[in-house]
Amino acid sequence: MTDINIPSYSLISYYRDKKNNPRGVLVAIPSESDGGFNIGFAQCRKTDKFSKKMGLNIALGRAKVESLESWDNAPHNLRKMLPKFIKRCESYYKIKV
């Protein structure tokens, strides 16, 4: 995974299935404008094999251009993880709510 350009101070969390295989990823990167953070996601189909490299590339791309309002189309498993991941991000980026 050396050819993935992961920004400094990023948080990564993987969704894993019952057999502990990674199936999706959440990524938080620092926001350039307001000192907050942006979150991106990626998940593969059940019939596909998850690639961490490809998943991180997709999630990082989404984090750079999308906001939390675009999460309506996100997979249910990742939306379920989102509240806990946001709390982790707020603590990591020291954002007061």
pLDDT tens profile 14-37: 999 899 999 999 999 998 777 788
Nearest to 40 by CA among 48, 30, 49, 32: 30
Within-domain flag for 1: no
Quote the mean pLDDT of the chain: 85
Model-level pTM? Answer: 0.84
- Mean pLDDT of the region 44-70: 84
- The number of domains in the chain is 1
Within-domain flag for 4: no
Q: Under DSSP, is residue 31 helix (H, G, I), strand (E, B) or coil?
A: coil
Within-domain flag for 18: yes
Within-domain flag for 79: yes
- Helix %, strand %, coil % of the chain (to 5): 40, 25, 40
Domain containing 55 equals: 11-92
Within-domain flag for 3: no
